[in-house]
Amino acid sequence: MNTRKVVFLFYTTLIIGTVAGFLVGFIVDFQTHINDLSNGQFGGFIMIIITASIWTVIAQMGFFAYLTVHRFGLGIFKSVSLWNKIQVVIIAFALFDIMFFRHMAFAEEGEGMLGFAVLPLLLLIYGLIVAYIKSKETNMGAFIPALFFMVVVTTIEWIPALRENDTTFLITSIVPLLVANTWQLLVLHHLHESPGKKNSGNVKAKAQPQK
């Protein structure tokens, strides 16, 4: 992947993630922002954009960090099957930790863990959908790595919000993260495709003598 494609990935991810985060941030606190705009106050409006862009940049950092970790994992364990099994175990731990530690931090006396299982469950469902799409567009071997990225890496990126018991903060942070991570994951293999492969069919067809 050349520099032009890396720059394309960076800017498209930044734009898509920021726009998604801005829309959600604006909708979540819609009345307040409408009142600010009607009074000529744009501070809150600008802060939504800045915050969404920060979460998007964090997602980009996580993505490139995972690409490095994934290569290290393949190199250390020397087996795709073993590395995939380890990733599945880490996925399970990450989902459990979201539920367990948030329950420890924010549960009221006598409150069970069931209510704190909603976030990891939703994240898992979304991750499974994206991983399925990725595997359909590439190969089945991409399913576990894609699920690992969408669940574990997104969870790590989401930690600052997970440490707070604020639903608005959780929503306005997870949306740009998920949108940015989904875009990066699903567009990556398209960027790796060479023009020669795309046009090879046409070239062969032209090369065939006409009857």
pLDDT tens-digit readout, 115-142: 899 999 999 999 999 999 999 999 999 9
Are 52 and 20 in contact by the 8 Å Cβ rule? The answer is: yes
SS3 state at 109: coil
Can you tell me which residue has the tokens 């293999």? Answer: 189
Whole-number mean pLDDT of the chain?
A: 88
Question: Cα(89)–Cα(198) distance, rounded to whole angstroms?
Answer: 37
Are 189 and 137 in contact by the 8 Å Cβ rule? The answer is: yes
Give yes or no for residue 200 having a pLDDT over 60: no
Provide the CA 190 distance to its chain's centre, in angstroms.
Answer: 17
Question: Quick one: pLDDT at residue 118?
Answer: 94
For residues 177-205, average pLDDT = 73
Can you tell me which residue has the tokens 């599945």? Answer: 88
Give yes or no for residue 161 having a pLDDT over 70: yes
For residues 52-78, average pLDDT = 93
Question: Quick one: pLDDT at residue 194?
Answer: 56
Are 159 and 102 in contact by the 8 Å Cβ rule? The answer is: no
- Residues constituting the chain: 211
Q: What is the pTM of this model?
A: 0.87
